[in-house]
Amino acid sequence: MITTSEVKFDKDLKNKKIIVTAHFNAKPESVWLAWTKKETLDTWWAPKPWRAETKKLDFQEGGSWQYAMIGPENQRQNGKLEYNKINAPKSFEATDSFTDAKGVVDKSFPQVLWKTEFKSSGTGTDVKITLTPVTEGALEKNLEMGFEDGFKMALGNLEEYLER
């Protein structure tokens, strides 16, 4: 299982980017599908004890993934990834936003561009996510909200999924 120390967060806030890297002992096709299919995203995206629930997934350029992260007391945090560019099965770029329950972007929260890349590497797949701000201060705000720890836990969930 992937451990927190195996997920690398390179925070270069001066140059407005965060690079997250992790290695998974699974074929690139399996890792790609885990990031692009509703059935798999719902199993790993939210850090435990939260869970993810897809409202809509249209994985194509111009499409989006609308979801909620649901807490143990049924609290909800809604989000959306809007897919800008897809180079299957090597990479995709998407704008990450917080939304209301209907999927309308809440501009009072940070928006971040994700470039997610998948590369075959010996025994598995290296994943590299480059985060750059869409809105001013977005990276810092996400970090203040616990993004680093939460995302490390979610990637641990992904490793558990891939091991099954």
Going from N- to C-terminal start, the domains of the chain cover: 4-163
What pLDDT is attached to residue 2? 52
Assigned token pair, 137: 């201060």
Residue 97 pairs with which residues in a beta bridge? 80
The answer to whether residues 80 and 66 touch, using CB atoms and an 8 Å cutoff, is yes
Pick from 132, 102, 135, 127: nearest CA to 114: 132
How far is it, in rounded angstroms, from Cα 108 to Cα 106? 5
What pLDDT is attached to residue 4? 47
Q: Please give the CATH topology (third level) of the domain spanning 4-163.
A: Alpha-D-Glucose-1,6-Bisphosphate; Chain A, domain 4 (3.30.530)
The DSSP 8-state label assigned to residue 103 in this structure reads S
What pLDDT is attached to residue 115? 98
The DSSP 8-state label assigned to residue 36 in this structure reads H
How far is it, in rounded angstroms, from Cα 156 to Cα 103? 27
Ranges of the chain whose pLDDT falls below 70: 1-5
